[in-house]
Structure 1
Amino acid sequence: MHRSIRRWCLALGLGPLLAGLALAAQPAWFDAAGHARPEALQAVSLLRAADTHGLDPSDYGAEHLAEALGKAGQPAQAVSGLDQALTEAMLRYLRHLRHGRVDPRQVGGGFRPSRQGGLDAQAVLQEALAAGDLAQAVHRSVPPLGQYEQLRQALQHYRTLTGHPAWQQALPALPVRATAGARKLEPGSRYAGLHLLARRLEALGDLPPRTVSRYEGDDALYDDELVQAVRRFQQRHGLTVDGVPGRQTLAQLAVKPDERVVQIGLALERLRWTPLLQSRRMVVVNIPEFVLRGYELTDRGIRVGTEMRVIVGKAARHATPLFDEEMRFIEFSPYWNVPRSIAADETVPRLLRDPGHLDRMGYEIVGRDGSIHRLVNDELLADVLAGRALLRQRPGPENALGGIKFVFPNREHIFLHDTPAVSLFRRDRRDFSHGCIRVEDPLALARFVMQEMPAWTEARIVEAMGRGESQTVRLSPPVPVVIAYITALVKDGQVHFFDDIYGHDRMLQAALKAREPGARGDTRPAGQR
């Protein structure tokens, strides 16, 4: 092997590749005369199209490789270097397609790589070359999720809107609403930006095409058709669906298509981390959407077996962590062991002001010797704050965990649970908890995860939830739980966007930009860099 080529390969981090792929006398991508084979041209075409997956073709040196391949009859040394470069570019591309470009643990995700479904990129590439179809390698490398392909299509659509004239001018301020004084656009009213609003909604697909002209001129009114278009837009962006655009709706309308392109690309990256369905059932919570879905494998493929709203950790101080674990237990009529942080910040100060709050709300203190106390004194509260005693809430109608707790042991002490505070589920934005996740329909979730436990009928579950006596049941089999964070999804053929409430998208975007040049995959031969 030529020394300069070896140095170049090692600089790119190709030690494992050199060990497994010694340079052959007849390079894989070139013929004996040094001309690129059709497979080489196909590979470059695929690399150039990496942006259709939300990836960056420059990470794989696509244009430099295309330029180098266009030179006919190159010397053997240059051909050997290009052969290695193209192989590494394709391997890097396939690995990025399956596992992403950034370790999720660097950007707030605790997903374990072993759970994501392995990919032998080298074997996949070799098989595709043998079949004469490199697109097959790409198809086998992308996450096998219908949502992934739907987001790719949404990405292409929003790319076509980049630079659209509807976003070249800012929407004027909304008129002041007569009834409340706030700036809102009411049905039947006039608005200087009505035509521009209609153009944006038409471009986004929320307003039927060829209707924009009716909103030109000073006499145009905010009519029912435009109201319905705004309602569709609001529904796709996690807003209050009332057809009355206010500050939040206007802010979402101001987001340009190129920003949505970035957002969809980040969602595709996150889907590459998401652990795949590896059992009959899986529960997935999408934090920014405030939604839980239970997926199950049937004879017809994967379907949603249950779906419900959730309440997640507060964005400011109690963000719910992202990870995957197995749900192993259900606790009916659970005790709530109050975390020391909540006890120190909230419960103990309340008890100091109102000692009767302890028994009135069903709390009790378990002392160092196991004794149970339902009356407060300074010594007991000091023990609670020091961690020498446990403050807990008994099962019952006031219990913060409601009638059921779903346990998937994890180091963050996060779980799913019922709640007596059901009114909060009506809010559009639902980050109100201290980190654990409250579920809107705990009975439906229990039925979903206990489907293979026929003795646990709906009636028995309901009885156990309301009995008031704590009971722990081991799930058989365990059910995987994924706490995910994706701010763009396609639902019922429409792309939906959600606020980056924890700032994870900003963190991921910064991590992608900050990658070292070597990690971005400079695949040019040494003499061309």
Structure 2
Amino acid sequence: MIMRNILRATMVRTWLGCAAVAPLLLAAPVAQAQVTDFRQAVAQAAASDADIAAFYRERNYEGIWSGSADRNRRNALMAAFAAAGDHGLSTSRYDPAPITARLQAATTPAEQASVEVELTRLFMQYARDVQTGMLVPSQIDSSILREVPYRSRLSTIRAFVQSNPDSFLRALPPSSPEYTRLMREKLAMERLLADGGWGPTVPGGKLEAGDTGNRVVALRNRLIAMGFLERTNTQTYDAAMVAAVQRFQQAHGLAIDGTAGQGTLREINATPESRLQSIIVAMERERWNNRPRGTRHIWVNLTDFTARIVDNDVVTFETRSVIGANQRDRVSPEFSDVMEFMVINPSWYVPRSIITKEYLPQLQENPNSVSQLQITDARGRTINRAEVDFTQYTASNFPFSMRQPPSNGNALGLVKFMFPNRHNIYLHDTPAKSLFGREVRAFSHGCIRLADPFDFAYALLARQVANPEEFFQSRLATGVEQRVDLVEPVPVHLVYRTAFTQADGRMQYRRDVYGRDGRIWNALAREGVAIRAVRG
């Protein structure tokens, strides 16, 4: 085709006797040929990705990055890539230098099309990473059952080309106050690292009020550097230091006694790098949950051993909790659902896993063991234990169910709060009240036990009855199992945050009781996320 146009131009030039005509006649067909070659190359480069192929097909394979008119869009994307590290994303994945070099070096339609499609692929990857996370939660830990609210890649880029590129890219990350505060703290911690961190750690063992010496000075300096103690020259563990240690303990979920014992010193000596890892993991987790939490919602932070009711981003009720023990089949999972009702005076229908693993061996040794539980057949009839030889059964063929009727000693206590889910997890009362005095409260089979279940019920019922306490107690007094529906179902979020913020921006840190955040950090590091120190 190009050769035909050259021959035609030569004939016209000879006929007119005007050499200037030739370039004019050549320019349009050659440019058109280049456009056609570019579009064909885009089609070929996009073919391996269905979303990208569909996007360019809709545009007749016209580019969105390569032309001079696309400069603002291109620059906005490169600026977003350059700031990817601020969000705790992989800086190597979004290094703008290599792609910029490819753009500048691309001269043929095939090279230009290759860069064009690669930029679209990177845009889609960046949009998903910064909006809903780099990792797939369940691939990191099978107990992270969160359903990530992924957006359509195709819809995202369609919207992008119709929008102001800078504004669109700025709006991609979570807009929650928590994400904003975590990112602010991340950047501050990176500046702290560049300035040398918190200084030397505190050597040795326990320190308490009245102690003096170099170790007290080391503790003093560390508390000052961390922001828990005003500047002072004291060399004595005085009242100001006791108060500072108490503030530190409160911010780290420790027993608040003002004494720097082994557990407190371990947390005081944690490195800024480890705290920064926790923040980056928390930002990834916030991206996984990048959807509205609910104007009223229940927030159960497993690492904090608390359950809260939150109204319009303000905590209106809080109670201590006990979570699943740190054993493979007892850990509490992470997911979100909707609380629909509570059951007052509940029966406990024993999960089969508990029946076969814990109670069947006891029954085989003594048929009268666990006498608080009724054993029922497939038709719900209570069986006579004396007539059953439990030794003939195994975990796979045990034919009975077990139920504990309502009572003060019921394993679920006197009320349970239901958000029906396939994991059989719920919130409930417990007769084992002493466990709420422990610093680490991981003892259950997976469900969440509440220290103040009645008050929790009153707070939920206050939206639908005039006197929630009287309403609840009147039903409790019957001793009969009763279901009470919530007129307004409440979203429930079981989360796991070792780093989180208070409304005033101050950080809170908790121990990684199940080791999940450590696994998430390792996975992020494999994807290229790294701790960095940044000069202010």
User: Which category describes the TM-score, using the shorter chain as reference length?
Assistant: 0.7 to 0.9
Deviation at 1:471, TM superposition (A): 1.5
Between the aligned partners of 1:82 and 1:507, the Cα distance in structure 2 is 35
* Cα contact 1:402–1:420 (8 A) shared by 2: yes
Deviation at 1:222, TM superposition (A): 1.8
Mapping for residues 295-444 of structure 1, pairs under 5 Å: 295-296=310-311, 301-317=312-328, 318-347=330-359, 358-359=370-371, 362-372=372-382, 378-379=388-389, 386-444=397-455
Residues 24 and 383 of structure 1: CA distance in aligned 2, closer, same or farther (over 3 Å): closer
Q: Percent identity?
A: 30
* Cα contact 2:310–2:317 (8 A) shared by 1: yes
Match of 2:512 in 1: 500
RMSD: 3.4
User: Which sits farther off after the overlay, 398-407 or 276-285?
Assistant: 276-285
After superposition, the C-alpha distances for 1:149-175 in whole angstroms (9 at most, x for unaligned) are 01111111111122554656443212x
* Cα contact 1:311–1:432 (8 A) shared by 2: yes
1:274 corresponds, among 289, 304, 308, to 289
After superposition, the C-alpha distances for 1:328-384 in whole angstroms (9 at most, x for unaligned) are 33211011122344344544566677777655xx43222455333586665368679
After superposition, the C-alpha distances for 1:62-108 in whole angstroms (9 at most, x for unaligned) are 23234456x49966654444443333323322211211111122123
* Cα contact 1:380–1:389 (8 A) shared by 2: no
1:137 corresponds, among 168, 174, 183, to 168
Match of 1:196 in 2: 218
Deviation at 1:252, TM superposition (A): 1.4
TM-score, normalised to structure 2, is 0.80
Partner amino acid, structure 2, of 1:19 = A
Match of 2:181 in 1: 150
After superposition, the C-alpha distances for 1:444-494 in whole angstroms (9 at most, x for unaligned) are 333444455438833111222343211223433433322211211001421
2:493 corresponds, among 475, 482, 492, to 482
Between the aligned partners of 1:455 and 1:225, the Cα distance in structure 2 is 47
Match of 1:121 in 2: 156
After superposition, the C-alpha distances for 1:116-155 in whole angstroms (9 at most, x for unaligned) are 7778421442244xx3x51x22332222311110111111
Q: Which runs of 5+ in 1 are unaligned?
A: 175-183, 520-529
* Cα contact 2:336–2:492 (8 A) shared by 1: yes
* Cα contact 2:52–2:120 (8 A) shared by 1: no
User: Which sits farther off after the overlay, 465-474 or 140-149?
Assistant: 465-474
TM-score, normalised to structure 1, is 0.81
Residues 382 and 415 of structure 1: CA distance in aligned 2, closer, same or farther (over 3 Å): farther
2:299 corresponds, among 262, 284, 302, to 284
* Cα contact 1:315–1:431 (8 A) shared by 2: yes
2:252 corresponds, among 237, 240, 245, to 237
For 1:508, what is the secondary structure of its paired residue? helix
For 2:217, what is the secondary structure of its paired residue? helix
Between the aligned partners of 1:384 and 1:471, the Cα distance in structure 2 is 35
Match of 1:187 in 2: 209
* Cα contact 1:340–1:384 (8 A) shared by 2: no
Match of 1:94 in 2: 127
Between the aligned partners of 1:20 and 1:468, the Cα distance in structure 2 is 63
Residues 410 and 376 of structure 1: CA distance in aligned 2, closer, same or farther (over 3 Å): farther
Q: Which runs of 5+ in 2 are unaligned?
A: 1-36, 530-536
Partner amino acid, structure 2, of 1:419 = T
Between the aligned partners of 1:316 and 1:307, the Cα distance in structure 2 is 26
User: Which sits farther off after the overlay, 394-403 or 438-447?
Assistant: 438-447
For 2:287, what is the secondary structure of its paired residue? helix
Match of 1:16 in 2: 51
Larger Rg: 2
2:191 corresponds, among 142, 160, 163, to 160
User: Which sits farther off after the overlay, 472-481 or 369-378?
Assistant: 369-378
Between the aligned partners of 2:477 and 2:131, the Cα distance in structure 1 is 45
Deviation at 1:498, TM superposition (A): 1.1
Deviation at 1:38, TM superposition (A): 4.0
Between the aligned partners of 1:8 and 1:73, the Cα distance in structure 2 is 15
For 2:92, what is the secondary structure of its paired residue? helix
Between the aligned partners of 2:268 and 2:43, the Cα distance in structure 1 is 53
Between the aligned partners of 2:428 and 2:135, the Cα distance in structure 1 is 32
Aligned length: 486
